[in-house]
Amino acid sequence: MPNAVKPDAACRASCDVLVIGGGPAGSTMAALLAERGRNVVLVEKAKHPRFHIGESLLPLNLPLFERLGVAEEIRQIGMLKYGVEFISPWHSTPMTFDFADAWDKAFPYSYQVRRSEFDEILFRNAARKGTQALEGCRVTGVEFNDKGARVSGRHEDGREVSWDARFVVDASGRDTLLANQFAIKRRNKQHNSAAIFGHFSGASRLPGKAEGNITVFWFDHGWLWFIPLSDGTTSIGAVCWPYYMKSRKTNPSQFLLDTIALCPALQERLRNAQLIAPATATGNYSYTAKRTAGRNYLMLGDAFAFIDPVFSTGVFLAMHSAFVGADTIETCLDKPTRASSALAAFDRTMRRGPSVFSWFIYRVTTPTLRDLFMEPNNRYRLQEALLSILAGDIFRGTPLNSRVLAFKAVYYLKNFFNAKRTFAAWKKRRRFIQDAVVTEATG
């Protein structure tokens, strides 16, 4: 496949598509376009391997790996994940959901991965397919024009470079480069959370086939994750309301340990474990950009929207957006008369994922949804439909809509018959969100 035209002595170059960000979305997009013969430049500000949180993948990621030609490489670094375990201090026993019990039984597992290894595999794959893949180069500006855009960058050694690109893809993740440039990034007022996380050795895992399952623990201030990795390391993190994160008086590592102590079930699994690197705290405030695309640009994955990671949707939505986006760019470049309809279809797809998952995410800490997860019922195949959602089966036309509507109806009925509890939970959540908005506005 042809490479993008390399910079001349004046550090100026041209390409068909300039992709900003070498994470799952950007590397997938670059690989797909390069193997179709496009001149693609992929610009990553860091150097692989680099740390990134978000180690848990969904079963519907696996067909995407096959289509990219990286399935075997991912298998070699992955920890098999057959399901999800939920543990609640308000319920007597844990509950496990196996992906094999979903509506479509063809996707019974996924993987847990070290993102440093996973992201590098995707990045190197893009380079193998003909992408000019640059590391240690930060995009500093994008100026759009009638022919596309002039993209400026700076290497780690200070060298300036620029490209004339026919099309720009923003896969910059939570840097949200174009959304910030256009001033179209909006905080999600319905959901606010922050996270603290670290890696542990010596954690006690589930036995047998369930060893690689992710566990979600509810506790008073939010929820915690337990993600086993194939090298024996376990990723532990807490996603909490901002008021709780603001209460931190110690360093992040000690605060993470103190937070774990508030969840006896998790603390027991970490009785003989050691934190092997300093913990990291981050603001995971949810956001969405007002638009997903323009005449000569697209936003992929977290560059468009970020939602709470409770259902491990980030990598899947990022990669799926790249597959849809690659077709969209092909249409825009080759059939400009169809560009408007292609961009509109891309926009609908980009908004569908966050919309489907957000209904559950906004309610995941409510007593009623906890009850439905901890005491599931497969009447009318409602549990199978829920499992399909958790597996990421939301784009293939699997007939889930009526079951999902029925599940939501059950949720609202349970709220109605537990009105006092429901009102108290709503009032508490509203206070937490308002406090977070006030803190952001005054901070």
In the chain, where are the structural domains located? 12-53+62-68+115-188+286-355, 76-114+189-283, 362-442
The pLDDT of residue 187 is 86
The pLDDT of residue 9 is 40
Token digits for 343? 């961009």
- What backbone phi and psi angles, to 5 degrees, belong to 100? -65, -15
- Cβ(303)–Cβ(25) under 8 Å? yes
CB burial readout 227-252, b (16+ within 10 A) else e: bbbbeebbbbbbbbbbebbeebeeeb
The pLDDT of residue 8 is 44
**76-114+189-283 — its CATH code?**
3.30.9.100
Q: Which CATH class is domain 12-53+62-68+115-188+286-355?
A: alpha beta
Which segments of the chain have a pLDDT < 70? 1-10, 284-285, 432-443
- Cβ(260)–Cβ(267) under 8 Å? yes
